[in-house]
Amino acid sequence: MSLSMKRIFAIVRKDRKDSMKSANIVPVLLIPVGMALMFAYVMPSDLDMMFEMYVGVILLNLLFISGVVPANSLAEEKEKGTLRMLLYTPTSIAELLIGKNIHYFCLSLIGVLLSLLILQVPISWGYFLVAVIPVAFFCIVLSSTVGLLANNNGQIMITLFPVIMGMYFISSMADLYNVAFIYTIKRFLPIEIFYDAFHVSFYGGSFPWFSLVVTLCWITVISIIFAVVYRKQRYT
Amino acid sequence: MNAIIEFEDVHKQFKEKKALTDVNFSINKGEIFGLVGPTGVGKTTSIKLLTDQLKPSEGTIRVFGESVTGNHTQLLSKMGILSDRSVLYERLSLYDNLRFLASLYDRPVSTIEDILEHVGLASSRKTTYKHLSKGMKQRANLAAALIHAPEILILDEPTASLDPSAKANVHAFLRQLNEQGSTIFLTSHDMNEIESLCHRVAFMIDGTIYLCGEPAQIRSTYAAPTVTVTFADGNVETFNNSYTGMTSLRNAIESRKVQSIHSDEPSLTDIFLDVTGRKFA
């Protein structure tokens, strides 16, 4: 299988134009940035509170853009019939997915950077990369897998959205309830590296190796599932 | 003749259901070939097999002498494909849609203007796809199928959802393309469309080709051996094409004023019904 970079970047450019005009995608992009703007004005004085609030908003931004939008976009291509049209061109599903994922990966980074800028969160670039890139990668692969399986946006909202929001709430609320089993689940979530990297950057401490390994394991698992789904779905 | 598309003993089975059984036909360079049959008999499956979206259970499909299986990218760059379900990105302008497709085929942007002129949509280049009328959308889809100047144009029920005037426009455009050298493979359940456009047709029922040939040749094969004459006085008489019948016809023409003479050729629809014993849906 040979991949054409020209076709991949044509898909990136098309998705950039198309997603900026989509009533499904634009709100998903704007809501977290809007929340960041809102929180920037309601700045808590307590450092712990500030940490929870800021990191929560930025994580929500990342999860929405990299976790929901790629699946949404792929399902829309199926629903509207443009996927069929693309498959009548020399474009392969692999090129389509890579093009889409590059676009949404960049959009995720822009969204997170924008939130960081609005909230003026102090974080080193090293920890920023450790926090954002593995989580964005995991979410995009998860989202693409669900996008390949789903036929419309309704199915995405029923299946993927609860998973993404479930991870978000467990991760951001576990400390509030202080229940052992929720705390254990939180430690093994693929997005925990995000909290841990920000935590170390805020308060200091040792590098969050455990969370990083957990996330890398999750990335391996979801990549295998994606490969199986891709092989099964490309002739469907 | 130079066959550029060949179906050889093609079978396709979906679990329990046989979609195609022993399909054999070829399409020559520069001709318009029509695959005709009611909805759901295997026409679209044939196109999916031809475009490597499905794999045949048995048999071989060749385009330009090469098997389509595994040659997806190379072959699709030589084919333009249009169906009544074809769509472009509705939020993008017609120009942006075509520019995107041109870049997928690595074609220069300058070809877009030519194509838009060709399909009569130059003035609508900035209109978003969703704001085009149904006929304009189908012409835009045709422009999209032609953006890479394909050697073969594959049309799956291209005018199924169009009104008669839009349909006539598309037909005229297809004839023009064919005159310029394009080979066209057309599937349709509209017998008039097939009859007016195609150089050769194949009748398909339940995944099997029943009859294949030139429309005129098929009609003459199935023509009744009679000639019907309408006289100026309103009388209508039928003459057999035997020696005595033709002598009577000559005498009648010499002695009475004739309004019209018709050979009793059946339409393709009549022949289809006769050969397959099926109704059109």
The segment with the largest mean pLDDT, out of A21-35, B108-122, B156-170, is B108-122
> Which residue among B54, B87, B103 places its CB closest to the CB of A10?
B103
In the predicted structure, residue B154 carries a pLDDT above the cut 80: yes
Interface size between A and B, measured as CB pairs under 8 A: 60
Average confidence (pLDDT) over B142-148: 89
Neighboring chain A residues of B145 at a CB cutoff of 8 Å? 88
In the predicted structure, residue B85 carries a pLDDT above the cut 80: no
Retrieve residue B120's tokens: 């009569």
Interface contact B72, partner A, CB < 8 A: yes
Interface contact A80, partner B, CB < 8 A: yes
Helix residue ranges per DSSP H, B53-133: 72-76, 94-104, 110-118
Hey, how many other C-beta atoms are within 10 angstroms of the C-beta on B8? 16
Interface contact A7, partner B, CB < 8 A: yes
Neighboring chain B residues of A82 at a CB cutoff of 8 Å? 87-89
A4-57 pLDDT, tens digit per residue, is: 899 999 999 999 999 888 887 788 778 777 888 887 777 777 777 777 777 888
Decide if the complex's ipTM is over 0.90: no
Interface contact B161, partner A, CB < 8 A: no
Q: What CA–CA distances, in Å, run from A3 to A90, A93, A104, B244, B280? A: 10, 10, 19, 73, 44
Q: Domain residue spans in chain B? A: 3-219, 224-264
Q: What is the mean pLDDT of chain B?
A: 86
Neighboring chain B residues of A78 at a CB cutoff of 8 Å? none
Is there a contact between B91 and A6 if contact means CB atoms under 8 Å apart?
A: no
C-alpha closest to that of A193 among A175, A176, A227, A217: A217
Cα B259 to the chain's mean position, in Å? 35
Retrieve residue A52's tokens: 């929870």
Q: Domain residue spans in chain A? A: 5-233
Shortest Cα–Cα distance, A229 to chain B (Å)? 17
Interface contact B88, partner A, CB < 8 A: yes
C-alpha closest to that of A197 among A136, A141, A139, A110: A136
The residues, ordered by sequence, that sit 6+ positions from A134 with a Cβ below 8 Å of its Cβ are A190, A193, A212, A215, A216, A219
Specify the pLDDT at position A236.
57
The residues, ordered by sequence, that sit 6+ positions from A41 with a Cβ below 8 Å of its Cβ are none
A8: closest chain B residue by CA: B104
Q: What CA–CA distances, in Å, run from A45 to A41, A48, A50, A51, A148? A: 12, 9, 7, 10, 45
A125-174 pLDDT, tens digit per residue, is: 888 888 889 999 999 999 999 999 998 888 998 999 999 999 998 888 77
> What fold, for B3-219?
Rossmann fold (3.40.50)
Specify the pLDDT at position B185.
93
Is there a contact between A6 and B77 if contact means CB atoms under 8 Å apart?
A: no
Interface contact B231, partner A, CB < 8 A: no
Interface contact B105, partner A, CB < 8 A: yes
Q: What is the DSSP letter of B213?
A: E
CA B249, CA B246: separation in Å to the nearest integer? Answer: 5
Of the pLDDT bands very low, low, confident and very high (cuts 50, 70, 90), residue B279 is low
Specify the pLDDT at position B278.
59
In the predicted structure, residue B277 carries a pLDDT above the cut 90: no
Question: Global pTM?
Answer: 0.80
